[in-house]
Structure 1
């Protein structure tokens, strides 16, 4: 065993359970970690200025963090380490064979080592560049804050490992879903008119003071007869519901490969390949990459370095490269994007249910019709988006789509989801494609007709949907909604397949068994 192997094997880790854990025990472990995550989010780091805690809240939902608390770093170090390592291994700069046990151990150990490194690096960067401001410039206090942030980041890493081994799903997904869900409820129902200040000042429409929550806000506008403002207040809620149904609908689309058992004649099954083949992983990585770029740009701009962009005191981009990659926020963009999203979704459903031969033409026609209707509706309600807003819209959509496709391709190569790995898995189950010899190379050639295409198309779809959903101003951010719905749906499927036998009969019915 080499020196490097000894290092990665000596890293702190969570042991695998020695005995089988039933659904109830795994659910308890998951709930305990979620509760611990929420508690850690309420523990403020000692020595931090309270005003600093509100500066970067736009990152909290995507990175599963809470600024100024022990979970300030969130899943940022984990995702950053994963992005870098995937790029290095996927491009063969690091020539590891992930199909071997040795390659997998090196990959996982290196990812953990990189995560610990980024916990330290990001903690130093947060404090040094002013994202987290100490109460005083005392070097000792700054070191103490860095140590607390690093400790919190490593704790998140271990909590993620606990959920993966002892709970249900993954900790990264759990933390994202928790943050987005909290954001949705606060954004929809918060009756307070003041945000970021102590206490709660209730809205008073007669005095021009309106609640922060969109539902109370819409009711307040309706009370004073502002119908247009009422509709605009409800747009994020409409966008949230629309994105929810689109994701649930598309999750069910799949290609099924017919298989037969080689040893038992007459027995067969189908191997499903989902349209969103790599699930929500590409969007998590793309959104985290953009969030890290935004954070880095904000911190650099605070030091007078404006290579990535310039920002105002609220962290909103005002110029530079990131200005044309981040989501533009305006009522005109919201109305335009929601109308476009609804029309395209309606066109897709129409093509599916009619089983039309030219389904692609129907979807393409719905896109053209959607753009025309979106322009008409937007112009009627609030006015057309400006040229700068449309340029920013295009930049954000292109970034999310391209990044999602790249990460989708790399994820297939590094996560054992490529045609060869799936063919070996099918071969190991004693199955083959009817009418062909029992040879994994034949299965691989058939799978190669679908998997690379699904990886690209799935990446394009989730990137496009996340970007457009962001533009609609959906509660919890469009990307957050997309991730959360997919996380919950995948969790439902995992529970339904793996743990249904451990459930109470009444609960089992809920999962369709």
Structure 2
């Protein structure tokens, strides 16, 4: 780094070291205590998501509700920015460190402290920057043109985002798992529940907004086609849920032996989804931020729409042209049915083949995918007709962006979070284990892990990005990406509890975690 950059980074480190933070617990916290803090923070988050901003014009908030799920936001409330500033800061720092523009060694304690401090400082900057952008560009419109209301809205938005940042710290240090993950899961779960079961009707409508009440109403009226359309998102949600749960459980196991006890060994499991849901969180947040910027830069145009450098939006805030239209999955019914059939048939055939112990997993997956593709073409053709070329091209570009983005972030995450071969080899060495048939040396373990981890980093990003994109096309409740994230988050919570806290539980509860 040049001297100028070094001085700037030293200044950032100096400022970040003086920022307030949440102290780590000085003594071991019981499972009950950690669960208590997690529930308290979750309740505070949900409560703040109902506190409407003072001075906001309420009818303006609906345009950005696509932003809510991925960033744990609640538009028009204190939680409008959600986890956006935290995730944006993390993305930027990861890219800078990954490209060696900032030369921090994240394998050392000092390097990690610098990264975390800079991330907090950058997140606070984005709290105010995004708050200003929302208000200045009209995403959150003041009820009156007074400058005092303009300023008050910015301060409320920034204050809410900073609270989220500290709540994330509380969960990470005093609770279970990550606050970011908790907030995303809470938002998605809330939307799934409301969209599935809401019995209320909109003004001027006679059909309930909830899909299950809709299905029952249409069925009672004998409108089978409408009833089928209403229940499709529920079916899609169940299928996506099953696929994600199954994929989460697949592991690659490496045989190891204890160096000091001959004849004893164990297998070291590496998840097929090695980087978990992190790549999808990051690429989805990046896409949401680009859409947000596009929406903020758009100016009122003809027929009530808005247009800007990144594309045009309709009155509901849905992209209709330009680059931004490729960042939103198609809502076309033919696309929904095509990808729902593809996902369902591929998953069911793969499950049956693996259940009956068929060999050659890659061949099974290829045949299942081919059968799924043929089934999708036939079912879509004979129900609503195949997708038009423009919609299909848009879907393929969205899928490509999700997959490539997830792979890139997956590789970056492995490099920056201590999940690379060298760090895992040191963990294995610390447990007194070695590769059978070789002398005890972390370099040998690292060589063995290098056969798996770099490939898993790419493969997990590819699989999780592909599932998220395809699931988005099915019109599942809470979006496919939202369900994927929520299932992954809940599964990770379950794994953490079963590994770390199961012995502290009541015996009646313990059996569910073994």
TM-score under structure 2 normalisation?
Answer: 0.95
Aligned-partner Cα distance in 2 for 1:334–1:2: 51
Q: Which residue of 2 aligns with 1:450?
A: 452
Corresponding residue pairs, total: 501
Deviations 1:287-316 (A, max 9, x none): 111111111111111377622111011011
Bigger mean CA offset, 423-432 vs 158-167:
423-432
Q: Once structures 1 and 2 are overlaid, which stretch shifts more, 101-110 or 52-61?
A: 52-61
The whole-number CA distance in structure 2 between the counterparts of 1:160 and 1:404 is 23
Match of 2:411 in 1: 409
Residue 159 in 1 paired to residue 167 in 2?
Answer: yes
Partner of 1:282: 279
Residue 347 of structure 1, CA deviation: 2.9
Displacement of 1:281 in angstroms is 0.3
Deviation track 1:28-48 (CA, whole Å, cap 9, x = no partner) reads: 000000000011011111111
Equivalents in 2 of 1:166, 1:184: separation in Å? Answer: 28
Instruction: Tell me how far apart the structure 2 counterparts of residues 164 and 358 of structure 1 sit (CA, whole Å).
Output: 41
Alignment equivalent of 1:377, drawn from 376, 379, 389? 379
What does 1:466-481 align with in structure 2 at a 5 Å threshold?
466-481=468-483
111-120 or 293-302, which moves further after superposition?
293-302
SS at match of 2:78: coil
8 A contact 1:258–1:434 mirrored in 2: yes
**Residue of structure 2 equivalent to 1:206:** none
Map of 1:65-464 to 2, 5 A cutoff? 65-194=73-202, 209-302=206-299, 306-464=308-466
Secondary structure, aligned partner of 1:29: helix
Aligned equivalent of 2:62: 54
Report the Cα offset of residue 365 of structure 1. Answer: 2.2
Q: Which residue of 1 aligns with 2:15?
A: 7
Report the Cα distance in structure 1 between the residues aligned to 2:101 and 2:17, rounded to whole angstroms.
23
Q: Could you tell me which runs of 5 or more consecutive residues in structure 1 were left unpaired when the two chains were aligned.
A: 204-208
User: Following the alignment from structure 2 to structure 1, what is the Cα–Cα distance between the partners of residues 370 and 259?
Assistant: 49
Name the SS for the 1:453 alignment partner.
helix
How far residue 348 of structure 1 moved from its aligned partner, in angstroms, is 2.2
Q: Is contact 1:401–1:464 with CA below 8 Å preserved after alignment?
A: yes
What secondary structure does 2:418 align onto?
A: coil
1:324–1:391 Cα contact (<8 Å) kept: no
| CA-CA distance at 1:3 after TM superposition | 4.2
SS in 2 for 1:384: coil
Q: How far did 1:163 drift?
A: 0.1
Distance of 1:302 and 1:161 partners within structure 2: 38
CA contact (8 A) 1:129 1:302 kept: no
2:21 pairs with 1:17: no
Conserved in 2, the CA contact under 8 Å of 1:228 and 1:381? Answer: no
Q: CA deviation at 1:193?
A: 2.0
Q: Which runs of 5+ in 2 are unaligned?
A: 1-8, 301-305
CA–CA separation in structure 1 for the residues paired with 2:477 and 2:13: 45
Give the C-alpha shift of residue 267 in structure 1: 2.5
Structure 2 CA distance, aligned partners of 1:89 and 1:316?
34
Q: Give the distance between the partners of 1:279 and 1:51, measured in 2 at CA.
A: 37
Deviations along 1:103-148, one digit per CA (max 9) or x if unpaired, are 1111110111110011111000000111100011222211111011
Contact 2:12 2:118 (C-alpha < 8 Å) held by counterparts: no
Residue deviations 1:393-426, cap 9 Å, x none? 1011101100000000000000000001100111
CA distance in 1, matches of 2:166, 2:307: 35
Give the deviation of 1:450 after TM superposition. 0.4
| Structure 2 counterpart SS, 1:55 | helix
Deviations 1:263-302 (A, max 9, x none): 2223211110010000000000011111111111111113
Q: CA deviation at 1:351?
A: 3.7
Moved more, 367-376 or 43-52: 367-376
TM-score by length of 1: 0.95
Question: Residues 27-66 of structure 1: matches in 2 within 5 Å?
Answer: 27-66=35-74
2-side partners of 1:4 and 1:102: how far apart? 14
Q: How much does 1:228 deviate? A: 1.5
State the 1:435 CA deviation. 0.7
Contact preservation (8 Å) 1:180, 1:480 = yes
Q: How far has the Cα of 1:325 moved from its partner?
A: 2.7
In the TM superposition, what is the alpha-carbon distance from 1:2 to its structure 2 partner? 5.1
- Given that 2:84 and 2:285 are in contact with CA atoms closer than 8 Å, whether structure 1 keeps it comes out as yes
SS in 1 for 2:103: coil
CA RMSD of aligned residues (A): 1.4
Separation in 1, partners of 2:69, 2:152: 26
- State the alpha-carbon separation in 2 of the partners of residues 147 and 356 from structure 1: 60
SS of equivalent residue, structure 1 residue 62: coil
